[in-house]
Amino acid sequence: MANILTAAEAANFLRSTADDAVMLQFLPLVDQYIQQATGHNWTVDTPIHSTAKLAAGMLLTYWYDNPGMVGQAPGSLSGALVALEAEALKYRKYEFEGRNGAGSISLPGTRIGDDVITLVGVYGATGDQSSKFEATISEADEIQQTDAGDLSESQYVVVLKHPADDVSA
């Protein structure tokens, strides 16, 4: 089975040799840890995401230098794991302002079929505001405000995910 890091890549992180027995034992454990942390099996991707390789190298180095810490991650790895989880889940976040009356709002990057995972007010409105907008994007690069009221003084954050981006681990 392939690993996130090849033996040569792992050896470069450790400044070791590709046949280092301890390193080779750690490689599948590193893969397993990253898969559990992100919900995605990165070893099946072609090519393997560069952030996955970086996270694997950081974790491998940490465990290799601190064998008593196997199964734990250094705090410096959390940012890479969050980025990988977002990549795995394919969530996309947008900020936008409402409009006066129902209609379309420009939101470059949205795709037809994107599902609204969450939509909250951040200025001029608070909490869940999803009932005032479409639940599934119907026009590329836009979101439809369905509420006829004046929402032009409010700012919102929407998190979208396209069903085609679902991860199969």
Confidence of residue 1 (pLDDT cuts 50, 70, 90): low
DSSP 96-149: EE--BSSEEEE-TT--TT-EEEEEEEEESS-EE-GGGB-SB--STTEEEE---S
* Res 36: pLDDT: 84
Neighbours of 130 (CB within 10 A): 15
Confidence (pTM): 0.54
**Domain assignments of the chain as residue spans, ordered by start:** 7-89, 92-163
Question: Would you say residue 141 has pLDDT above 90?
Answer: yes
Identify the residue with better confidence: 165 or 118: 118
Lowest mean pLDDT among 19-28, 54-63, 64-73: 64-73
Tokens at 106, concatenated: 């420009």
Question: Would you say residue 18 has pLDDT above 80?
Answer: yes
Confidence of residue 166 (pLDDT cuts 50, 70, 90): low
Q: Per-residue pLDDT tens for 108-138?
A: 989 999 999 889 998 999 889 999 999 999 9
One-letter amino acid for residue 45 of the chain: D
Helix (H, G, I), strand (E, B) or coil at 41: coil
